[in-house]
Chains A and B, each alone.
Chain A
Amino acid sequence: MSDQDLVVETVRDILAAHEPFVLTPSRPWDGALWTALAEAGLTGVGLPEEAGGSGGELADAVAVVATLAAGAAAVPVAEQLLVAGPALVTAGLDLPDPAEPLSFAIADGVTAEPSDDGDGPGAFVLQGVSADVAWSGVARRVAVLVQGPPRIGGSVLVLVDAARVAAAPGTNLAGEPTGSLDLDGVSAPGALLTEAQAAVLRARFALARAVQISAALQQVLAWTVQYAGEREQFGRPLGRFQAIQMELAEMAGEVTAVAAIVDAAVQALGRGDDVVLAAAAAKVRAGAAVEVVARLAHQVHGAIGFTQEHKLHHLTRRLWSWRDEAGSELHWSRVLGAGLLAAGPDALWPTLTRVV
């Protein structure tokens, strides 16, 4: 059994005691699940022990995130393990205790001014509102990527103490919190990032969502195949009808293509390659598959899948949301398209073969 298999099994055991539920403003996340994961050290997987994490490889962190995504777990684990946590460590900022939920946001409208020398990690005063903050109101701290001071340029990664910031509520299609944080006048520790570092961080966020999407797509396919084998109409299981077989096979094609590119991008990230275009491709491809897979999964499930009682929506609603988060398909299509043309129009093929 590989390390990742072990991690997956541990996460599954914990998940087994936590059924997904309909998120509401009064119950916006699964705090009990989070506590169980934290107690098992799973909220620090892939983060270095010197920084207070649990150690382990990127692949372990990805395995945790994927398993929880497939289980429709309402916890900010992708943000913590794959985006905010590694970003804080890389930027030399203090990693909060992994037992406390940490999230990540990109706020292009927020600016940061150093309140000390501004050289390396230091204190910054922020101005503006950060919209679309995943797990706002739930995460104790949020790492926010904001604009650097005009005379310096670049970006700044700040670590905001969310408990001391005014928040406006908001939710995505799955009911996951995505409110805004009013950062006007807030002071926070932060570090300057170059444009390239900021681009990689944005890409990491997109790839984290793509990892979640890929895992959820695989689960939706498995549920749908299983359902088609059990549900009978006209005296036989749905899966015996050729029209349904075509739909399931189409879903399988999408799911498999996404798994290949997402896995390849994760491997590239693990090797330390420049991962911006690979992450862009993974996010765009994953988003495109959501269209097909969610539509067909609901079609095959019939009316029961359209109800809150049935589990299907826990993943399809998340899929519809995740594809728009961390940069939409349009955004990443443009990044990928422009990146592929950067070396000149005649170099498209050599560039493509280097992406992953």
Chain B
Amino acid sequence: MSTPSLTLAPAPPSEAAEQVRAEVRRFLAEELAAGSFTTHVDTWLSGVDPAFSRKLGERGWLGMTWPSRYGGHERTAMERYAVTEELLAAGAPVAAHWIADRQSGPNLLRYGTEAQKATILPRIAAGECYIVIGMSEPDSGSDLASIRTRAARNGDGDWVVNGAKIWTSNAHASHYAITLVRTSPADPSNRHAGLSQLLIDLSTPGITVNPIRILDGGHHFNEVVFTDVVVPADMLLGTEGDGWHQVTAELAFERSGPERFLSTYPLLAEFARRVADSGDPAGVAVLGRLSARLLALRQLSLRIAAALDRGELPNLAAALVKDVGTTFEADVIDEIRRVVEVPASLDSPDPLGRALAEAQLHAPGYTLRGGTNEILRGIVARGLGLR
């Protein structure tokens, strides 16, 4: 048995990326100064602000790597990386467009029909069209192949969808759901067969979106129920029966970005301000320790972005970033708590107390969303040749 090399080629420094980084920084400083947003923890889940998303679209910071004929900007993954990183570090409200820009767009680019691409991608790039992931179901989380939402063809060849999706982030404020459905009966000998992806307009009759509140009372999640929902035949995404393959490829995109270790960065930044004021040596050391972990993750994630630019698919490393990164996101809270005496409270007058509260109440989600860490470690174990 051989162990795959775990050293990724370095990411070459990119002047273009540094330039766009500086532009985003300037923009964010101006927006903060103008009060158009305030910094929060985990804003790529909770910071829904369509006006802000449209501003990013106007500046060319969405759909950055896509072809220009679909409203994209034909820039590199490294440039896109710099933009997403700056937005997350500032705790900017990016949740409205996040999934569409990160994953649905690339998914459509790869599998969509010409008509799907031409109508939807430019709107995503403009920050005006939001798409959600309709994968999980009440009885299917980690075991995604067991989904039961089904789609059957009617007399016109259109699809009729019945079933329910759950934990659907931002479904109440989005336009489409890329929905994983069963299009042939379950085959016990091939659990991954018979699944397809449908691009479902969320305003279609028969869809109900029921809010589910998370620990801090926020409404980000939903249950989405489909009752005899008619989806036009041309809204199949990719190939009928190929849904499993498409979903797995999509998840690889989803796992390695800076959002997998920067969700609690605004808390770390607030902590740094506190340590700078107090000079507490224990705090300085904790800041150093956490920063060393962050810097290592950043290197890894940058190297994956560079590998994607080269057309490689570093799936093992991507799973690793998400496992190590999301563990780090939660550890930030614990390590800081040990060296400051600040009660965590959402209505604390102290910004550190507020950031601690936001980070803590969101913490259970970090290691669950996008595939749990246990499932990711299973992927890594396969990569190591153990399964």
Contacts and interface: CB of A to CB of B under 8 A. Distances in A.
Interface of A: 218, 221-222, 225-226, 228-229, 239-240, 242, 244-246, 248-250, 252-261, 263-264, 267, 278, 280-285, 288, 329-330, 332-338, 340-341, 344-346, 348-350, 352-353, 355-356
B115 interface: no
Interface string B1-25: 1010011101000000000010001
B289 A288 contact: yes
Contacts of A218: 3, 6-7
Contacts of A282: 292
Nearest to A245: B381
B162 to A, nearest CB: 34
Nearest to A349: B89
Given A249-B378, A333-B285, A333-B286, A260 B386 contact: no
Contacts of A253: 320, 323-324, 380
Contacts of B281: 334
A225 B293 contact: no
A341 B272 contact: yes
Contacts of B297: 257
A260 B285 contact: no
Nearest to A257: B296
A334 B381 contact: no
A350 B7 CA distance: 26
Contacts of B272: 340-341, 345, 348
A345 B276 contact: yes
B374 A340 contact: no
B387 interface: yes
B284 interface: yes
25 contacts: A225-B385, A226-B1, A226-B3, A239-B384, A249-B320, A249-B377, A250-B323, A250-B377, A253-B320, A278-B295, A281-B292, A284-B288, A284-B289, A285-B293, A285-B295, A333-B285, A334-B285, A334-B288, A336-B292, A340-B291, A341-B275, A341-B287, A345-B276, A349-B90, A352-B295
B20 to A, nearest CB: 13
* Size class of the B contact interface (CB-based, 8 Å): 35 or more
Contact of B286 (A222, A264, A337): A337
Given A249-B381, A259-B6, A284-B292, 16 more contacts: A242-B378, A246-B377, A248-B386, A257-B297, A259-B7, A260-B8, A260-B299, A260-B300, A264-B299, A280-B288, A288-B289, A332-B288, A337-B275, A337-B286, A337-B287, A341-B272
B273 interface: yes
A337 B296 contact: no
B292 A280 contact: yes
B296 A261 contact: yes
B381 A248 contact: yes
B333 interface: no
B291 A341 contact: no
A263 B292 contact: no
B292 A261 contact: yes
A215 to B, nearest CB: 10
A341 B269 CA distance: 10
B198 interface: no
B379 to A, nearest CB: 8
Contacts of B383: 252
A200 to B, nearest CB: 18
A281 B273 contact: no
Contact of A338 (B3, B273, B284, B377): B284
A199 B90 CA distance: 32
Contacts of A341: 272, 275-276, 284, 287
Nearest to A271: B13
Interface in B336-387: 374, 376-378, 380-381, 383-387
A264 to B, nearest CB: 5
Contact of B3 (A221, A263, A345, A348): A221
Nearest to A244: B386
B295 A240 contact: no
A261 B289 contact: no
B317 interface: yes
A330 B283 CA distance: 11
Given A240-B386, A341-B287, A346 B377 contact: no
A284 B294 CA distance: 11
B80 interface: no
Contacts of A225: 1, 3, 384-386
Given A225-B1, A245-B387, A260-B8, A346 B288 contact: no
Nearest to A266: B10
Contacts of B97: none
